[in-house]
Amino acid sequence: MRRTPVYIICSPRPLVGKTLIARLLCEFLLLQRGSVVGFDVNLKEPSLLDFLPRVTETAEVEDTFGKMQLMDRLILNDGIAKVIDLGFHAFDEFFTMIGEIGFFKEAARRGVAPTVLFVADNDRASGRSYAMLRSRVPERSFIVIDNEFVLRGELPDAFSHGRLLNIAALPVFLKTYIDRVGFSFTGYLRQERDSSTELHQWIRDNYFSFRELELGLLLHGG
């Protein structure tokens, strides 16, 4: 049975690059699979909806109706990859909810393959949340993201157990360039003929990392 991937990009902290990673992943999945649905669970702009309005929906987890609507979509094995840009304000509520409903067991039963992508940061809240997720999320479904633009150094030892995904830091002027609403990573790869540029290589490296995630899904029955 082909499994439907669900990628949950999260952190208990703001300003760690979650939406940037969600944008990259959504664009990669559009290129790789031809379709994707993004779920924007954020309070502040800019958010995933601003950058990718054609494939993104807003979602809420503050009330029962919003939770049910989101879960109905995430538990559906329809072959369309899902990406959740989970705002820090909704972090605790979201993971409490999926713990209460036994989301990971139900997902496995239905042929849905969730992966939690936890963006690490140097603070106590991140350390506590990391420990909580390690105890609740199956090891194969949990990945720590080392965003070098945020950590600006080596990944703390506390986060170095298990699977890792590295996002290299870009110079500030390039970071400002890609943060413009309307910028497309795939569009840049297609339009920029010089494949040796730093941004071209950065996008390709990240797409390659996401391709490895997708191949892992296929190897485990996707």
Distance CA 96, CA 104 (A): 13
pLDDT beyond 90 at 45: no
Indicate whether 29 pLDDT > 60: yes
- Given a contact cutoff of 8 angstroms between Cβ atoms, the answer to whether 83 and 7 are in contact is yes
Does residue 220 surpass a pLDDT of 90? no
Please give the model's pTM, rounded to 2 decimal places: 0.94
Question: What integer best gives the mean pLDDT of the chain?
Answer: 92
CATH of 4-84+98-219, one of 3.90.1170.50, 3.40.50.300, 3.20.20.70, 1.10.730.10: 3.40.50.300
Distance between CA 25 and CA 73 in Å, rounded? 18
- The domain spans of the chain are 4-84+98-219
Identify the pLDDT of residue 155. 80
Answer yes or no: is pLDDT of 1 > 70: no
CB-CB contact of 5 with 78 (8 Å): no
Residue-wise pLDDT for 105-146, tens only, equals 999 999 999 999 999 998 889 999 999 999 999 999 999 999
Cβ 146 vs Cβ 166: under 8 Å: yes
**In one letter, which amino acid is 87?**
G
Dump pLDDT digits (tens) for 162-189.
Answer: 799 999 999 999 999 999 999 999 999 9
